[in-house]
Amino acid sequence: MSTSPMHISLAQRLECSASARYDELLTRSSVDMNKKLTIPVIDLFAGPGGLAEGFSTAGDRDLEFEVLLSVEKDPAAHRTLTLRSFYRELARTGVPPEYYGYLRGEISWRELFTRFPVACQKATSACLCKELGSDDDSEIHAAIEARLRGRRDNWVLIGGPPCQAYSIVGRSRMSRRPREKFEADARHYLYRQYLTILAKFGPPAFVMENVKGLLSSRINGDSMFRRILKDLSAPGEALPGVVSAVGHRGPRHYRVVPIDFSGGSPDEFDARDFVMRAEDHGVPQKRHRVILLGVRRDLEVDGLFELESEQDAPAVLEMIDDLPRLRSQLSREPDSPESWHAALQQAWQVDFAKLPDHRVRSLVRDAIAVARGITDVGGRYTKGSGRVRMRQELRDWFLDENLKGACNHESRPHRRDDLSRYLFVSAFGLAHGRTPKLADFPEHLLPDHRNARKARESHELFDDRFRVQVGHEPATTVTSHVAKDGHYYIHHDPSQCRSWTVREAARIQTFPDNYFFEGTRTQQYVQVGNAVPPLLARAIARKVARLVRKWVTDR
């Protein structure tokens, strides 16, 4: 009697991992496990793969989504995508020890991928490093057509065109230029690359994600949101020169509805109906995003999207408190555990010993005493963990017992004067249960920039330039700004006196712990900040699965 590939032992995997035998098991298992309904997914503007991760994990015993192709222009994010696609292939039979060896830096990328050629081939063919909207998109179109061959009736297009032109901060920066240049900026129209794929390939359904600022964005006085809705409803008419590559008759038309659609026509929807609150779907941050669901008009959607019961959003403390404790590093001067702790002692004597707020003063004093025992700054892989506070369903999603530590968990260097501000902000959060505004800062700890005192007096938009992510609440929105300086993402534990690591930001973005981010630390932060939280994507995918089941039943 043959051994099922789902039950091969660790010893068997170790024995065959350096040869083609493991790949044979992988190939065989993909046939054995593929008896359920499989729905192909094409992911555009994929980033590090948050949407794809959510869809790939949203299946059940009857249905699964398979990410056939992810397209991303950034080389570091593309490398992250490829590694995760490789992981998903390996996971069909059980992830081998070599994968964790790579995460720990024990073997190279080349060694890992060479040992598993079948998984390597599948992963690399499923991830394309190309920019949509460049001079020639023929390679992207050819890849989509090749991946969809024979599977064109039931598939889903997903993706989020870059949002700099629609975010409130991005619009503020762009609008400082002459008006005609602002309104002609190509970044306003990146969604048209998404339109091209809709017009050319006509998927039964699509999901497009963007920032909430899209709802208020205007060009020449017209709402960009309404324009995008109109164009997505009839992509062939918006782009009349695009020729179908799949032989469907005439241009496709779509109903574009909110993800919680329960009936009605697009003209009846308020723009706010398209906003999905991540914290209502178990994501530990107050992240609000526009989610557009498009369904071909020849397919039925009414009654399929009743509202689901909301889930409590986990708090920051529950999400990251078990990760290895790290000290920050010192920037612009030699760093060592001794010099770092000496800097904290100096901060106490100069900035806190006579602080009027006795609760904050006491917490800072205690934190500096505890900090003496924290010496590690982390790195690519950091051993160990603390007490896990997560509820069971979160443990099942995030934790991997084979890791025995944390990846992408390295602290950043901070200036000596900012260490005092970090101590104050994090201790204030513990003492008062909120992040301080500039009005709460002692005069000598105000940020060293010319607008700080003006913002403090007028309560302007950025009067919380230094923000602690308080432990008992969900986090604020994680954005790509986390790559800049970390001032908006200060750790709740004053004894660590630092901003979040990439792994802590990834936890808040709901990436599993075995999801490894490639590139420099700055590139990793950008990837995490720009991503769709996988748990939010999974909630979206489960709603899309209802559509798929109905289409299959109706045929």
Q: How far is CA 335 from the centre of its chain?
A: 32
- What single letter denotes the amino acid at residue 85? S
Per-position pLDDT tens, the chain of length 555: 333 333 444 334 443 444 455 555 555 544 444 578 899 999 999 999 999 999 999 988 889 999 999 999 999 999 999 999 999 999 999 999 999 999 999 999 999 999 999 999 999 999 999 998 877 889 999 999 999 987 767 899 999 887 555 544 454 454 555 555 544 455 556 788 899 999 999 999 999 999 888 888 777 778 888 889 999 999 988 888 777 766 665 668 899 988 877 666 666 788 888 999 999 999 999 999 999 999 988 887 665 555 566 788 999 999 999 999 999 999 999 999 999 999 999 999 999 999 999 999 999 999 999 999 999 999 999 998 889 999 999 999 999 999 999 999 999 999 999 999 999 999 999 999 999 988 899 989 987 766 665 655 655 544 567 999 999 999 999 999 999 989 999 999 999 999 999 999 999 999 999 999 999 999 999 999 999 999 999 999 998 998 888 776 666
Dig out the tokens for 337 from the structure: 């555990």
At residue 336, the 3 state secondary structure works out as coil
Helix (H) or strand (E) holding 197: helix 191-201
d(CA 417, CA 273) in angstroms, rounded, equals: 45
- Provide the β-strand partners of residue 490: 468, 499
Contact 495, 371 (CB under 8 A): yes
Contact 81, 127 (CB under 8 A): yes
At residue 283, the 3 state secondary structure works out as coil
For the segment 92-128, what is each residue's pLDDT rounded down to a tens digit? 999 999 999 999 999 999 999 999 999 999 999 999 9
At residue 508, the 3 state secondary structure works out as helix
- Provide the β-strand partners of residue 292: 208
- What single letter denotes the amino acid at residue 320? I
The answer for 465, left when phi > 0, alpha when psi is -120 to 50, beta otherwise, is: alpha
Contact 207, 243 (CB under 8 A): no
Kindly give, in sequence order, each residue whose CB lies less than 8 Å from that of residue 364, ignoring residues fewer than 6 positions away.
348, 352, 355, 423, 424, 427, 494
pTM: 0.88
Kindly give, in sequence order, each residue whose CB lies less than 8 Å from that of residue 39, ignoring residues fewer than 6 positions away.
63, 64, 65, 66, 154, 155, 156, 545, 548
Q: Which domains does the chain have, with CATH numbers?
A: 37-77+126-311+533-554 (3.40.50.150), 316-530 (no CATH)
d(CA 448, CA 477) in angstroms, rounded, equals: 25
At residue 509, the 3 state secondary structure works out as coil
- What is the pLDDT at residue 20? 52
| 98 phi, psi to nearest 5 deg | -60, -35
The answer for 238, left when phi > 0, alpha when psi is -120 to 50, beta otherwise, is: alpha
Q: Which of 277, 258, 278 is nearest to 269 (CA)?
A: 258
Contact 510, 252 (CB under 8 A): no
Write out the DSSP string of 404-451: -EEEEEEPPEE-HHHHHHHHHHHHHHHHHSSPPPGGGS-GGGS-SSTT
Q: Which of 203, 164, 191, 188 is nearest to 69 (CA)?
A: 203
- What is the pLDDT at residue 133? 80
Kindly give, in sequence order, each residue whose CB lies less than 8 Å from that of residue 246, ignoring residues fewer than 6 positions away.
145, 148, 152, 200, 201, 202
DSSP summary character for residue 132 = T
At residue 110, the 3 state secondary structure works out as helix
Q: Counting every residue, how long is the chain?
A: 555
Contact 137, 100 (CB under 8 A): no
- What is the β-pairing status of strands 288-296 and 378-383? unpaired
Contact 238, 231 (CB under 8 A): yes
- What is the pLDDT at residue 254? 92
| 159 phi, psi to nearest 5 deg | 155, 160
The answer for 308, left when phi > 0, alpha when psi is -120 to 50, beta otherwise, is: beta
- What is the pLDDT at residue 259? 86
Kindly give, in sequence order, each residue whose CB lies less than 8 Å from that of residue 394, ignoring residues fewer than 6 positions away.
314, 318, 319
The maximal CA–CA distance of the chain, rounded, in angstroms, is 78
Dig out the tokens for 555 from the structure: 């045929």
Residue tagged 């697009």 (tokens) = 266
DSSP summary character for residue 252 = -
Q: Which of 49, 69, 76 is nearest to 122 (CA)?
A: 69
| 158 phi, psi to nearest 5 deg | -130, 160
d(CA 195, CA 198) in angstroms, rounded, equals: 5
Kindly give, in sequence order, each residue whose CB lies less than 8 Å from that of residue 289, ignoring residues fewer than 6 positions away.
209, 210, 211, 212, 275, 276, 278, 532, 536
- What is the pLDDT at residue 161? 85
